Structure 1
């Protein structure tokens, strides 16, 4: 197996020497695509023909009985994340369809392992499992971690909850905050970076709720999944602990991959969870992707190409219609251990600038009907946030152009949302650090019940 994976990666790297044609973004305004390679999608390029002519299809197990969303695709099942061995993260309850979104499935005390991970006294830590909804509307389940501090809440009202949608940015289930905290794993560097900020909130007397917002399929960057799951994690806390948290204020904060979840929570709350209208007080969002097509072109064939390939695989788990465009080479990679990598691995994967063209069976895949369809399904730009927004972005973010978040800010202002926009120094990584204090101060204000500042009137 190791020899096979090395061969696949070597082939991918060597293919980057081929010329990739320039591309332009598609606004997705055309009708629903027909899922075929003609006439809406280009035929395979010579390189793609060579790949499929020289690399055989992987042998996949026979399709199992239908599961979850009804599909019986052997390839789809083979690209799903490997089970962890922990039923909380692996097991699909048989009665999901009979449960309401946010309804509890299981609550597990994980105080013993969690207490050793945070530089803050914990009263208790709970791993929650609850019903949620997939992007297609099918019943699903989610997990989240609730941390209740030992410190008293000094502010007005009941103890508030800081909903921290961490940038999981991963394909494997053990990479999630829930698994990391429940099992006391200390080598998940992607999560460990954010533990000090969690401890800071706990020391202020705020409870912290950390959703595993990629869902059971680890659908990295799928906004509808992330928004539904985050909203249902709040529902689960309110219903499980009504005395403590039914009347609490909740505010959601996230950066980069976590910003997608925070953004989706604010945009989808009215239509998906109107019952939370009086509970959610605001959303702080940094390093946000709003235009998936534009960002895909920036990532493609450059240093962030590994992230684009990871996101594409993750999206196909939630949108299996994408799998028919995956060539033989990509199928080998997608069923290999690469399907379980954590966030700190998918960045280096693209160090040689792997273009997505070497993973598909149609030329110009970012211009294809299927790309336009996925862009439409993942766009939330037509929604109105139900809560005030704090938006920040690096002034030198060469991965995620600032134009998208800026346009989102202006659009939300036009719709009457109270919002602030902050440009902070740095690229995508350093802007996270440089913007953290402003976002934290803004969240603290919302959790205390202070009115949100509004910088929009000058634009109206």
Structure 2
């Protein structure tokens, strides 16, 4: 059965890439795949050797754009460029400003009003919806840019002080730029719009409560899905940008975050980086709630590989590889075809589908056991952000019956942060990922609401 699934996967990826390959310049002396039968043993090492022998390397033509990391070989630099998302035709999301290095993190590079389009989608009274483009930092400390949307309620803030701001870190979970919430708010509903932008209705409930809502596109311009440093920098710099754009209205506001699943990656990244990257925000951000927390990718390598979640797991690997191209170097020809195929511009509703084949990520690698390799161990270590203390109080919740994002990781994060002296709360809620999202949401948002109202955070460590 696994042999047939491999055949289907190969046909799907190569056929899906055919249009892309035709658009490239012709490759001299093309390699003709030899007629090699399946190996007698369908074990992974044999399949990997068969795949590498049968599938030719994809044609790689590097598009223009900044290289993520210095010191790459020309071939790896070209591959790294080729896996990046395509432009969507909107300069706010596509254009890299030439003078990024001259700006400080959080400096505003562009701003626009998208109220007419966004208000029709939000379905609650809003005064204005602004989109910001700002300077941020990539996973290697190099200048990058981020985008975010700021939703301002129509009614005046009735409470004391400045209007509070809820930072809604949505589970973007995507590889293409059209999948971001800001793209939808600017251009209207499209096939790439995510239902998680509205369910649960975090933005709408917060607006009705009188809060402004900041929605960061936290995967950055490279759509580095699941990369926590990119996401954390983008979230923190979006807060800086709002405070600089409207200092009289939001300069002294309280900010609190919420994120679930992919949004929890961004929330976790942000709170871990406040102390080292944005210490001035430690007194501005009053708390962060996160649920369904992918806190340890080594755990996910056990729970999401070779099952129905394998499409999402592979997409997250591609997303991280956009910022950490050493991963690309260990992909075989099948993995490289997938990485440059039209899949690179899709959202979770598309790239999750190959999970029905339940193929292990090993089939995209050129080493026998990639998830237990030295490279994997280093990626686990870096993305775990172990020992990085949150500068703000935390509320962490997770489904007790979670099978794809086990509660083990969330509990370990809670105990670690308690040991570091953080005021934290942990809630185990019934259900797997979807059920837990619904059951855990009300208490999490009540906790966030109390922080925005100025109530001191409880500590249950």
Which shows bigger deviation, 122-131 or 52-61?
52-61
Match of 1:133 among 128, 137, 154: 137
- The CA deviation string for residues 164-200 of structure 1, in whole angstroms up to 9 with x for no partner, is 0000011000000111111112541344443722111
Match of residue 25 from structure 2: none
SS at structure 1 position matched to 2:308: coil
SS at structure 1 position matched to 2:356: coil
Q: Is the 8 A contact 1:111 1:126 kept in 2?
A: yes
SS at structure 2 position matched to 1:140: strand
Deviation at 1:66, TM superposition (A): 5.3
Verify: 1:337 aligned to 2:349, yes or no: no
Uncovered stretches (5+) of structure 1, i.e. residues with no partner: 22-44
Whole-Å separation in 2 of the counterparts to 1:270 and 1:401: 28
Match of 1:281 among 270, 286, 296: 286
Match of residue 176 from structure 1: 180
Which shows bigger deviation, 63-72 or 132-141?
63-72
Match of residue 296 from structure 1: 301
Match of residue 76 from structure 1: 80
Match of 1:223 among 205, 208, 228: 228
Whole-Å separation in 1 of the counterparts to 2:373 and 2:15: 24
Deviation at 1:99, TM superposition (A): 0.3
TM-score (norm. length: structure 1): 0.89
Match of residue 40 from structure 1: none
- The CA deviation string for residues 324-354 of structure 1, in whole angstroms up to 9 with x for no partner, is 1111111111111111111222322212211
Match of 1:97 among 97, 101, 106: 101
Structure-2 change in CA distance of 1:174 and 1:5 (3 Å): farther
Q: Is the 8 A contact 1:102 1:131 kept in 2?
A: yes
Which shows bigger deviation, 351-360 or 56-65?
56-65
Structure-2 change in CA distance of 1:195 and 1:285 (3 Å): closer
Deviation at 1:401, TM superposition (A): 1.3
Deviation at 1:67, TM superposition (A): 4.2
Match of 2:409 among 367, 388, 404: 404
Whole-Å separation in 2 of the counterparts to 1:63 and 1:256: 32
Deviation at 1:387, TM superposition (A): 0.5
SS at structure 2 position matched to 1:117: helix
Whole-Å separation in 2 of the counterparts to 1:194 and 1:91: 31
Whole-Å separation in 2 of the counterparts to 1:382 and 1:90: 35
Whole-Å separation in 2 of the counterparts to 1:20 and 1:439: 45
Match of residue 354 from structure 1: 359
Q: Is the 8 A contact 1:161 1:251 kept in 2?
A: yes
TM-score (norm. length: structure 2): 0.89
Match of residue 42 from structure 1: none
Whole-Å separation in 2 of the counterparts to 1:65 and 1:416: 43
Q: Is the 8 A contact 1:119 1:196 kept in 2?
A: no
Q: Is the 8 A contact 2:124 2:208 kept in 1?
A: yes
Q: Is the 8 A contact 1:280 1:387 kept in 2?
A: yes
Whole-Å separation in 1 of the counterparts to 2:306 and 2:130: 42
Whole-Å separation in 1 of the counterparts to 2:292 and 2:118: 28
Whole-Å separation in 1 of the counterparts to 2:261 and 2:14: 30
Q: How many residues align?
A: 428
Match of 2:276 among 271, 288, 306: 271
Q: Is the 8 A contact 1:125 1:148 kept in 2?
A: yes
Match of 2:219 among 205, 209, 214: 214
Q: Is the 8 A contact 2:105 2:237 kept in 1?
A: yes
Q: Is the 8 A contact 2:275 2:391 kept in 1?
A: yes
Match of residue 327 from structure 1: 332
SS at structure 2 position matched to 1:168: coil
Q: Is the 8 A contact 2:62 2:79 kept in 1?
A: no
Please list, as runs of the form range in 1=range in 2, the aligned pairs for 1:133-212 lying within 5 A after superposition.
133-187=137-191, 188-194=193-199, 196-212=201-217
- The CA deviation string for residues 271-304 of structure 1, in whole angstroms up to 9 with x for no partner, is 0001112100000010001110111121110111
- The CA deviation string for residues 370-396 of structure 1, in whole angstroms up to 9 with x for no partner, is 111111221212111111110111111
- The CA deviation string for residues 33-60 of structure 1, in whole angstroms up to 9 with x for no partner, is xxxxxxxxxxxx2211111111111112
Match of residue 425 from structure 1: 430
Q: Is the 8 A contact 1:68 1:139 kept in 2?
A: no
Q: Which has the higher contact order (CA 8 A, sep 6+)?
A: 1
Match of residue 33 from structure 2: none
Which shows bigger deviation, 372-381 or 112-121?
372-381
Whole-Å separation in 2 of the counterparts to 1:332 and 1:10: 7
Structure-2 change in CA distance of 1:280 and 1:58 (3 Å): same
RMSD (CA atoms): 2.2
- The CA deviation string for residues 77-127 of structure 1, in whole angstroms up to 9 with x for no partner, is 111011111010000000000100000000011011110011210100011
Match of 1:393 among 387, 398, 402: 398
Uncovered stretches (5+) of structure 2, i.e. residues with no partner: 1-7, 17-37
Whole-Å separation in 2 of the counterparts to 1:267 and 1:66: 27
Whole-Å separation in 2 of the counterparts to 1:67 and 1:455: 45
Whole-Å separation in 2 of the counterparts to 1:103 and 1:280: 19
